[in-house]
Structure 1
Amino acid sequence: MDPSYKSRKEAFVSNLAGGSILEINAVTLVAPASVFLWSVLQSRLSFFTPYGPAALITDFLLNVLGILFATTLYSSAPLLLNILLISPAILVLLNSRPRRTQQRAKPPHTPTARHGTDTPQRLPIHPFLTTYRAAMMIITCIAILAVDFHVFPRRFAKAENWGTSLMDLGVGSFVFSGGVVSARALVKDQQNGTFLRKALAQRLASSMRHSIPLLVLGLIRLYSVKNLEYAEHITEYGVHWNFFFTLGFLPPFVEIFEGLAKLIPSYEILSLAVAVLYQVALESTDLKSYILVSPRGSDLLSKNREGVFSFLGYLAIFLAGRATGIRIMSRGSSSTTAQQEKKRVLTSLGAQALGCTALFALNSMYFFGYGANIPVSRRLANMPYVLWVAAFNNAQLFLFCLIETVLFPPGSRTSASGMNEEAERTAFATSCILKAFNRGGLAVFLVANLLTGAVNLTVPTLDVNNVQAMVILIAYATVITGIAMGLDKANIKLSL
């Protein structure tokens, strides 16, 4: 890469201050709005069943290009795009009635004795969780390439030291999402009574199976950046550290914290404790100035201090995600109906979103004599950043859960036959594209990073106009969607 162009690239993503949280919320609301329109078309018109070419194109336009347009062409008018998505959904709702699924006649259900591996041990199926994870993956993949073009506003790119931006939120949301799905294995072990019998070494070995691919990707990225003279933003994570290392080190560190989880049987409290202790260290010692303004020394810690110390904040985010995941995936007693379970999950998500929002306001604002007035910093991953990410993701999950609950109400059974109905309802209520992005998350994320590097090495992204940029971005979105669909068709699961 030409040295002068490399300097321009680095300057293009440096010293930015971000934008407002209200605008970020308006932009990210496009994902639930797109899913709302998709769900209305499916629940009222069965538009995506069977899944033909028209259904595929519409699915792609709503759930992939909708997010791309929100962050580019409609970045200055996200509310208009939301209105354009929600309005036709409301018109369909007003002019149609819910379709009743035809059910085959079934023999009377005879209760059977319950054993350790019977129905109570099966985890509930939540289409909205697939939708949430996939939407997060799509916006992440789009942003990592779009940020290199002028069509992607600078206020959406990562803030330098202080501030809030779309990409700052995306990084934290990626970690929070990983925490949510990590709860599945934990809940399953707790229900089966095997959690307490697993030694730390056994849990660490299991977690490393998830970490090793990410750590390898981190090493590959490090080698590529250094040897291809790829533009890099050193103050983001440091000289050698990158986001793959953060993702890779989280699972084993969380397993170490499981010992504390036995003493503090609430991941919400554990997450808050990590965030508070880290924030106290930032405010009461020289740690904050060391990370932000200290000269970069020759030792590895000094060279990578952003990545090393922000890891504590990301650990708190991961634990907060696991707390949410436990609440979502735990199933109630055998007498609890599916409707009651969904209501419980919806209420829990709403309460967590409100609680995190209130704590975030107290940390980052000052009004009526209350509040710490601490600015958000993704570079530090400080406490306001942790609370902002937790509040946003719980709110997003709440919206996706609300859409599913209203438009695809659960059945009334929790028996084995009820599980079959639940699986059928899940297939009917889940976008094929979103399901594919969720199942192939690791492979899609890898391909997205490789394509981003290839585009930046072959195209002068700073010198192309908006029309050319959109052509490239649409082609890129089409390719990664095709890869996700292809992996799903081949029944290959490589989720993050």
Structure 2
Amino acid sequence: MASSAAAAHAHTYKQLKEDFVSNLTGGAVSEIAYVCAVAPVVSLLWSVLQARQSFFKPYTALGFVVDFLLNVGALLLSVTLYSAAPVLLSALLLAAASFVYAIPPNVSARRRKPKLPPTAQSKAGSGDLGPLSTKPFLTNYRGNMMVITCICILAVDFRLFPRRFAKVETWGTSLMDMGVGSFVFSAGIVASRPVLKDRADHRPTPLGPRLLKSFRHSLPLLAFGIVRLLSVKGLDYAEHVSEYGVHWNFFFTLGFLPPFVALFQSALKIIPSYAGLALLLGVFYQIVLESTPLKAFILAGPRTDLFAMNREGIFSFFGYLAIFLAGQDTGMYVLPRSLNPKSTSTAGVQRTTLVLTMAVWSAIWMALYFFTTDYTYGAGVSVSRRLANLPYVLWVVASNTTLVSVFCLVDTIFFPAFYNAHDAKAEKEAYETATSRILRSYNRNGLAVFLLANLLTGLVNMTVPTLDIGPLVTMGILLAYMAVLTVTAVGLDMYNISIKL
């Protein structure tokens, strides 16, 4: 009896492995190209409109509509009506950008500034620049990520959304597989800010207070995880247990990250690099997967107890932790105002150095991904978001560092004034000029907007037969849904409200 059960277990695992080709929903390299294509091109068109024509300054009702059509509508088209032709959509956007760039710049609009009395000017110009800054390209990157995430969590329930973009079962890559990893990577970038502040003040926070603070950040996320669990089970909402398990969900993963990151911060005394810690953790986890029965247990083990029921969420946490640490490493050289505070080089040289540094790191992560997955020259390990294995970690990190690098390049070309600012007021004005109001709003209250998106997604699924409606109605629902989210986000920003969760 036991031998037959073991044989069945082994057969199931073997079948899962053989199903790699059928579960593969697009090569990782092409998926990276897709993720890195449309959003930066949209950013390029927006930047040309702003830098050449000052189209969004002042921010009028027409500016809001165009902002919405570009930074929300174009991304919505890229995963629905233009899902089979992202290159065509990018070409159309590039053509529009070229046309706008060819138009003579609106010099009068760029020179138009409110006149202030001398005393007001001196007060307004006061304010020293600190060691850290809020880079425009990071706001655009994080805002775009939030927009596409909100689009996909509802669009996936409609037939118009291609199945190849939905999360894969076990092996392979997809757009939504990239989304969950990108969310964690982006959170890692932001989490590097307090570390950099401690280093700038030369007052490192001891482990105890660091853990206590991390638990305070975790509690709201864990509470949302419990609420989501109860609502999903109570409403009998459709879910795939192979994604995180029977009870686990993404909020639990996010909630447990801060305490573990606080513990890993102590390991920097031994390995003084977040990237090194991320690679060490990812490689160790992959070795355990390959050299023990753990992989078979995660993919095909029986769900006999609470631990086994949630094995995907529990063990994939190690992969997401590695992604978070890699994001922190990126933040360590992206967030500082200067890569080398003691350098006397000009702002232009500093900008070029940052772009080159990001390009080098992007190439390093890509090379590591290639040698991990290539069957001819590398280890030949397949990507699995379900396992959050080493190839998945490297795929997410390589994709996101490349995307951030491209946003940085666009930012550097069109908005050098931000990097040349000599005081806090000038820098703030340059930052607002270089960032979309909509993307800035999504970035400011990202988690709150994400929670609202989840509530609206549940409401739509309970009231609309999403699989039975046509493309026209689908686009209408998705546009209305994104309009509600966008108006909410921009409204909170207009009233200077930041919801910290």
TM-score, structure 1 as length reference: 0.90
In the alignment, the residues of structure 1 paired with residue 386 and residue 39 of structure 2 have an alpha-carbon distance, to the nearest angstrom, of 26
Partner of 1:70: 78
1:226-263 CA-to-partner distances (Å, cap 9, x unmatched) read 11111111000000000010011101110011110121
Contact 1:338–1:410 (8 Å) recurs in 2: no
| Candidates 144, 150, 167, aligned match of 2:153 | 144
| Candidates 381, 402, 405, aligned match of 2:412 | 405
Partner of 1:166: 175
Note the C-alpha offset of 1:17: 3.5
Say whether 1:216 aligns with 2:227. no
Matches within 5 A, 1:17-416: 17-28=24-35, 29-97=37-105, 102=111, 119=128, 121-195=130-204, 198-297=205-304, 299-330=305-336, 331=338, 332-333=340-341, 335-367=344-376, 370-410=377-417, 413=420
Note the C-alpha offset of 1:437: 0.3
Which letter does structure 1 place at the counterpart of 2:251? F
Q: RMSD of aligned C-alpha atoms? A: 2.0
| Candidates 431, 435, 442, aligned match of 1:437 | 442
Partner secondary structure for residue 462 of structure 1: helix
1:147-168 CA-to-partner distances (Å, cap 9, x unmatched) read 1111000010001010000000
Which letter does structure 1 place at the counterpart of 2:487? G
Call closer, same or farther: CA 1:336–1:215 in 2, change over 3 Å.
farther
Note the C-alpha offset of 1:23: 4.2
1:20-39 CA-to-partner distances (Å, cap 9, x unmatched) read 33543454221111111000
Which letter does structure 2 place at the counterpart of 1:422? E
Note the C-alpha offset of 1:120: 6.7
Call closer, same or farther: CA 1:120–1:447 in 2, change over 3 Å.
closer
Which letter does structure 1 place at the counterpart of 2:153? I
Which letter does structure 1 place at the counterpart of 2:324? F
Identify which range, 272-281 or 344-353, moves more after superposition: 344-353
| Candidates 463, 477, 484, aligned match of 2:489 | 484
In the alignment, the residues of structure 1 paired with residue 348 and residue 213 of structure 2 have an alpha-carbon distance, to the nearest angstrom, of 34
Which letter does structure 1 place at the counterpart of 2:102? L
Say whether 1:459 aligns with 2:464. yes
Call closer, same or farther: CA 1:411–1:235 in 2, change over 3 Å.
closer
In the alignment, the residues of structure 1 paired with residue 268 and residue 499 of structure 2 have an alpha-carbon distance, to the nearest angstrom, of 29
Contact 1:134–1:434 (8 Å) recurs in 2: yes
Call closer, same or farther: CA 1:468–1:315 in 2, change over 3 Å.
same
Which letter does structure 1 place at the counterpart of 2:237? Y
Identical positions, percent: 51
Partner secondary structure for residue 466 of structure 2: coil
Call closer, same or farther: CA 1:486–1:433 in 2, change over 3 Å.
same
Note the C-alpha offset of 1:384: 0.5
Partner secondary structure for residue 138 of structure 1: helix
Contact 2:351–2:419 (8 Å) recurs in 1: no
| Candidates 469, 478, 488, aligned match of 2:474 | 469
| Candidates 411, 418, 430, aligned match of 1:425 | 430
Task: Show structure 1 runs of 4+ deviating over 4 A.
Answer: 97-107, 118-121, 411-414
TM-score, structure 2 as length reference: 0.89
In the alignment, the residues of structure 1 paired with residue 87 and residue 259 of structure 2 have an alpha-carbon distance, to the nearest angstrom, of 41
Identify which range, 42-51 or 456-465, moves more after superposition: 456-465
In the alignment, the residues of structure 2 paired with residue 323 and residue 412 of structure 1 have an alpha-carbon distance, to the nearest angstrom, of 22
In the alignment, the residues of structure 2 paired with residue 106 and residue 166 of structure 1 have an alpha-carbon distance, to the nearest angstrom, of 53
Contact 1:338–1:411 (8 Å) recurs in 2: no
Contact 2:129–2:423 (8 Å) recurs in 1: no
Identify which range, 338-347 or 147-156, moves more after superposition: 338-347
Which letter does structure 2 place at the counterpart of 1:356? W
In the alignment, the residues of structure 2 paired with residue 169 and residue 236 of structure 1 have an alpha-carbon distance, to the nearest angstrom, of 14
Partner secondary structure for residue 459 of structure 2: helix
In the alignment, the residues of structure 1 paired with residue 252 and residue 413 of structure 2 have an alpha-carbon distance, to the nearest angstrom, of 40
Partner secondary structure for residue 423 of structure 2: helix
Which letter does structure 1 place at the counterpart of 2:323? I
Note the C-alpha offset of 1:420: 2.8
Note the C-alpha offset of 1:491: 0.9
In the alignment, the residues of structure 2 paired with residue 90 and residue 495 of structure 1 have an alpha-carbon distance, to the nearest angstrom, of 40
In the alignment, the residues of structure 1 paired with residue 490 and residue 30 of structure 2 have an alpha-carbon distance, to the nearest angstrom, of 32
Contact 1:211–1:251 (8 Å) recurs in 2: yes
